[in-house]
């Protein structure tokens, strides 16, 4: 694996195991520094504005503490019926979200922010994908909840974990739905001078 300049490490401002895996698949070496910020998560928020704000909030917080590093912030949410579905509070909340998504199409929005204080680099990108759910009966919802830890996932589901039980199809970036759109991420890192 090619080495990056030691003076400019890459940092992922997220504890998400899915984002870590996707960024690693691009072949980058990076550190993980979760941002200690309070994200904006109002159910009636504009999802594009909300994910852009939260991604920038995370990237800015970590970049302020690592000024020479190139820092990636990301935030993903699910949007249906003019309502933002963030991470469920508990299993009952996850169950309610799956019922709401059942048999319908929704949008997954991710905001990306890349920051590097040493040279003032600020890059932002928004990505959207559409997901269509199968019609879910109660038994399927309970089966899915028994197989997948849903409390750390926007919308109460992860397409990469037993998605065949609940998802009928999708359009757009699959990795966006998982939590880090890799094509757009690669473009931003190339713009930041970290092309592969």
How does pLDDT run across 114-144, given as a tens digit for each residue?
999 999 999 999 999 999 999 999 999 999 9
Residue 81 annotated in active site: no
Could you report the per-residue pLDDT of 30-89, keeping only the tens digit for each?
Answer: 999 999 999 998 889 999 999 999 999 999 999 999 999 999 999 999 999 999 999 999
Catalytic position from the list 31, 68, 75, 152:
75
Tell me if 112 is assigned to some domain: yes
Angle between helices 138-147 and 91-101 (to 10 degrees): 130
45 within a domain of the structure (yes/no): yes
Residue 153 belongs to a domain:
yes
Measured between alpha carbons, how far is 115 from 188 in angstroms, rounded to an integer?
10
* 2 domain-assigned: no
Tell me whether residue 3 is in a domain.
Answer: no
Q: Tell me, yes or no, whether 62 lies in a domain.
A: yes
18 domain residue, yes or no: yes
CATH number at residue 132: 3.90.950.10
Q: How many domains does the chain have?
A: 1
pTM greater than 0.85 (yes/no): yes
Domain of residue 67: give its range: 10-191
106 belongs to a structural domain: yes
| pLDDT given at position 8 | 52
Q: Band of the pLDDT at 195, cuts 50, 70, 90?
A: confident
């Amino acid at each position: 694996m090619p080495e990056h300049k030691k003076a400019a490490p890459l940092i992922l401002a997220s504890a998400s195991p899915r984002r870590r895996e996707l960024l690693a698949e691009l072949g980058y070496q990076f550190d993980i520094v979760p941002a200690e910020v309070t994200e904006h998560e109002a159910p009636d928020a504009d999802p594009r504005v909300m994910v852009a704000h939260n991604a920038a909030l995370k990237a800015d917080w970590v970049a302020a503490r690592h000024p020479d590093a190139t820092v990636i912030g990301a935030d993903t949410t699910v949007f249906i019926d003019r309502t933002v579905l963030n991470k469920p509070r508990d299993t009952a909340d996850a169950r309610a979200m799956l019922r709401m998504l059942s048999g319908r199409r929704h949008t997954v929005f991710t905001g990306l922010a890349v920051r590097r204080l040493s040279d003032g680099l600020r890059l932002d990108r928004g990505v959207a994908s559409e997901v269509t759910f199968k019609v879910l009966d109660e038994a399927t919802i309970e089966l899915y909840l028994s197989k997948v830890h849903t409390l750390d996932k926007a919308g109460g589901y992860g397409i990469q974990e037993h998605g065949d039980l609940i998802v009928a199809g999708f359009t757009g970036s699959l990795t966006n739905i998982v939590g880090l759109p890799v094509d757009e991420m690669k473009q931003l890192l190339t713009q930041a001078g970290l092309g592969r």
